[in-house]
Structure 1
């Protein structure tokens, strides 16, 4: 069974071109499934059947797994079963009839336009959060949060980096992994466009506005040189110790500035939601927003139309005398 797991992981990475995170998640789910199958008396992979699969998902649910997690695990089981059938490891595609629990539709939390503007201005107002650059290999320190001054260019550089990070996330709607993965060469300053490598290795170009360009100019001229180290390479966003900015650290930075500015709790993905919602509220075409966000399916983008409707209903209830 171990060999089958390794071959399946190789198939996901090389043939299906899935991200490393997706491969890890699917392999973790598969190991859990096969462990459950062994506990149910399956001596080898050929004894895997629909009863075992359903029993595995039922056990996951009793252990408190969320509907979204159960849906992903069912998808992992179906993907593995189809692959194993094609490669001759299973006589049939035993997971094909396996149903996924329907996840509850949860509308994403978004900031109002004025709240987003306040968050963008937070680094300029020295609303610096307490964070650590977990992506760097050295022991954690809190110089990300230090205010400018004291004869040291590093704290000021960190604030310039934070401003650019916020402007990129909100101004382009890119994912946090995409923002942290940007190299300097990925930015076309003449056209104000960034080249982003998204999920599944799909590349897209996303425009950014004048505020992000100003933040970029300041970062490249004054901020990045102060933090750059031999191991920086061509990474656009750097940690306080010179390595490429880690997504985990970037999430802390966003949450910290929101808290320091007195705003609702927000994540980088919340800024992505906010960007999409504000684009649609401003009259952007749904297909254009789909392209900007890098969604493979329009259905993924349509959730933002529900957000706009909810805001419209809230405004109606507040303002209309017949509400």
Structure 2
């Protein structure tokens, strides 16, 4: 094991055990640092890396790898955190990232919320995709149609992330199907609520079936056809197929339902502070991007109505 590999592993262990970062973030950091290590050709030790070498790496990402601005920015942040940890451990002094004039301009993109007809078509597609299955199979928690339909409805009702949904356990859900304990980013926990009575009833029935199939209280709430944890990747693939079935012209991802939940709540007049709490945003500035979506919706409505046009 080279010194570079050992330092990377030490940083990753720190992120996992001390910082309690999510598995997805740790996976991304590991990938970013491996790319950085390959760029160095394993010839330059991490202690000998200069500020100029860091700038060369950023240019390499932009020009040769043709990474998007968002990817370049994420990898720059990873390298900066890595060397901050190296400096704290006494491996370098100072960090070669200190005071570097790195400016990465990201394009301003509004989150894409689904329209009500789009949501309706997706939910209808979950039913049509299972039209040939036996009725008894539709009541099993491992049934694809049932778990997918409930997962999508729960994301729309609460705005939870797909990773949070995958990590949801039976013990996190109140017996009445109303209260859900969510484990968010950075091991932060929050409570979300389902206030729709029909959805509460369906979730209670699903939960009851999960217990009756021999599951323990610590078992995951949503399962796949084999009774194992419903992973984010599996749900992404299911949504992709549903989007094709519904003939959607736009790309639909699990995060689309989170955007939709936030946008719909704001458009119905819910205070942004409540939306922030529901989504688990650490700062309200992150939530404020959805107010721009609402403004755009208002603009579209006024443009279509155009009352002054009646008068010529």
Q: TM-score range by the shorter chain?
A: 0.7 to 0.9
**Contact 1:110–1:270 at 8 Å: present in 2 too?**
yes
Distance 1:21 1:245, change over 3 A: same
Q: Which residue of 1 aligns with 2:132?
A: 147
Q: Does 1:48 align with 2:86?
A: no
Matched, 1:254 2:239: yes
Secondary structure of 2:40's counterpart equals helix
Structure 2 equivalent of residue 97 of structure 1: 99
Could you list the per-position Cα deviations for residues 98-133 of structure 1 after superposition, in whole angstroms to 9, with x for gaps in the alignment? Answer: 32412111112111234324433443xx221xxxxx
Are 1:189 and 1:213, in contact at CA under 8 Å, matched by a contact in 2? no
Deviation at 1:291, TM superposition (A): 0.9
Is contact 1:276–1:289 with CA below 8 Å preserved after alignment? yes
Q: Which ranges in structure 2 are unaligned for 5 or more consecutive residues?
A: none
Q: In the alignment, is residue 12 of structure 1 matched against residue 7 of structure 2?
A: no
Alpha-carbon offset, residue 266 of structure 1: 1.6
Q: C-alpha separation between the residues in 1 aligned to 2:134 and 2:154?
A: 25
6-15 vs 28-37, which deviates more?
Answer: 28-37
Aligned to 2:166: 180
- 1:18 Cα shift? 1.1
The CA deviation string for residues 243-277 of structure 1, in whole angstroms up to 9 with x for no partner, is: 11121111122232333234443211000000000
Contact 1:75 1:100 in 2 (8 A): no
Distance 1:219 1:148, change over 3 A: farther
- Cα deviation digits, residues 46-91 of structure 1 (max 9, x gap): 2111110110111111121011100001101110111111111111
Distance 2:258 2:229 in 1: 21
| 2:221 is equivalent to residue 236 of structure 1 | yes
Moved more, 25-34 or 87-96: 25-34
1:316 to 285, 302, 310: 302
Alpha-carbon contact 1:170-1:274 (below 8 Å) kept: yes
Partner in structure 1 of residue 67 of structure 2: 65
Partners of 1:45 and 1:257 lie apart in 2 by 47
Change (3 A) 1:158 1:2: closer
Matched, 1:220 2:222: no
The alignment status of 1:287 with 2:289, answered yes or no, reads no
Deviation of the 1:217 alpha carbon: 2.8
RMSD: 2.5
1:112 corresponds to 2:148: no
- Give CA deviations for 1:278-319 in whole Å, capped at 9, x if unaligned: 010011111111111111122221111111111111112221
Whole-Å Cα distance in 2 between the matches of residues 152 and 111 of structure 1?
A: 30
2:83 matched residue in structure 1: 81
Aligned to 2:128: 127
Secondary structure, counterpart of 2:288 in structure 1: helix
Residue 170 of structure 1, CA deviation: 0.7
TM-score normalised by the chain length of structure 1: 0.84
| Residue of structure 2 in register with 1:135 after alignment | none
Alignment match, 1:132: none
